[in-house]
Amino acid sequence: MNADWEQRVAEVWNSFEAYEEDRAAEFRALIDELAAELPEGDPRGLFERACAFDSTGHSDRAVPLYQEALERGLGGYHKQRAVIQLASSLRNVGRADEGVALLTPELAGPPNELDDAVRAVLALCLADLGREREGLALVLGTLAPHLPRYQRSMARYARALVEPVPS
């Protein structure tokens, strides 16, 4: 992988909106061509292919590619993106419990720009499992620091959603 390859991948993704539903296969083919430039089984190529399936409505086909990319050592920023996107895809195919299991450890990692995405997808997985209060608590807790006012109140409300009710 080099800067030229990265740039070409970015250009294809930047053009994604131009590919309506009837052109989704064409978009995936462009990503496949770029992935094919990498060695067979390269985790980054698998990741890009998974993203292409996921973004074009084929979570079922994305799941095994994300899993293989992670198994083959996808690292850094792309690893965390793969975990988030895999959890989302698992949720889409009715396996939200696996999404929760994947994302929960991410909450303990060092803070970064993907933290809000982790919490948003985790909240969706929790809601699918009938744990809406936990999901809402996550969303409110994530939103609170971004508010111009009421940060402390929202953070308290978020905690109250999941704390045991005093008897």
Higher pLDDT, 24 or 22: 24
Residue 166 pLDDT > 80:
no
Give the closest residue to 120 by CA, choosing from 87, 148, 76: 87
Residue 20 pLDDT > 90:
no
Q: What digits encode the pLDDT tens for the residues 82-116?
A: 999 999 999 999 999 999 999 999 999 899 999 99
Q: What digits encode the pLDDT tens for the residues 24-50?
A: 999 999 999 999 999 999 999 999 999
Q: How far is CA 118 from CA 20, 31, 38, in A?
A: 28, 25, 29
Quote the pLDDT of residue 167: 67
